[in-house]
Amino acid sequence: MKKSLLLTVACALSLCTAAPSYANDALNNVASFFGSVTATIIDVPEGIIVDSLYNMPLKTTHALADKFGDEKGFQQNVAGAAIGIPVGFLWGIPYGAIRGGRHGMTSGWEKPFSTESFIVSEEK
């Protein structure tokens, strides 16, 4: 059982290693499909982590502090953080999953197995 599992894993790894060489040939659609799937598998958890732990709590805190009167004010930032960090964390989970999935599908299809397809960048 262990030998067949190890053989399967070794075959999968060798196919993934050779996959970028097929990106410009007639197998472009196949490589783009596998590049998109691989990037999506990596980018969805990455988007969830980045957006739920950093981006959304920070944006929500600053937006609430601005709505409370002064974005630079200490009391407004404390009140914004008290509400914005938990709300931003909860909102960042589905937002990061959607953003990471969209990024993985589009960049993985356009540039399969490139470093740009595996890093969820900041919104433009």
Strands (E), the chain: none
Percent of the chain with pLDDT over 90: 40
* Closest by Cα among 112, 90, 94, 97 to 33: 112
Residue-averaged pLDDT of the chain: 81
Contact 14, 76 (CB under 8 A): no
Domain count, the chain: 1
91 in Cβ contact with 56 (< 8 Å): yes
Residue 77 in any domain: the answer is: yes
Tens of pLDDT along 36-68? Answer: 888 889 899 999 999 999 999 999 999 999 999
Question: Is 78 a domain residue?
Answer: yes
Q: Which domain holds residue 63?
A: 30-118
**Does 1 reside within a domain?**
no
Single pTM value for the model: 0.68
* Residue 2 resides in a domain: no
